[in-house]
Amino acid sequence: MPEPTWQKSSYCAQGNSCVHIATAPTGTIHLTESGDPAHSILGATPQAFAALIHVLKENPAHV
């Protein structure tokens, strides 16, 4: 299985708490956080990821 190509959030400032996303060949969206010492990866369907982005854009005070 090829390694994912991670893209850092454009809202990330310098530091260790950056969200990174990558897509798998299956279409699954992977999310990880650079400050996570366990290097956990969350998988989401494109629909679930789109819903997350929608909620974050509608509620910017919670970001």
CA distance 48 to 4: 19
Q: What is the pLDDT of residue 47?
A: 97
Q: What is the pLDDT of residues 10-54, one digit of tens each?
A: 777 766 678 899 999 899 999 998 888 788 999 999 999 999 989
Q: Is the pLDDT at 57 greater than 80, yes or no?
A: yes
For residue 49, count other CB atoms closer than 10 A to its CB. Answer: 18
Q: Is the pLDDT at 5 greater than 90, yes or no?
A: no
Closest by alpha carbon to 50, among 34, 26, 27? 27
Q: What is the pLDDT of residue 36?
A: 84
Element (H, E) at 56: helix 46-58
Banded model confidence at residue 62, pLDDT cuts 50, 70, 90: low
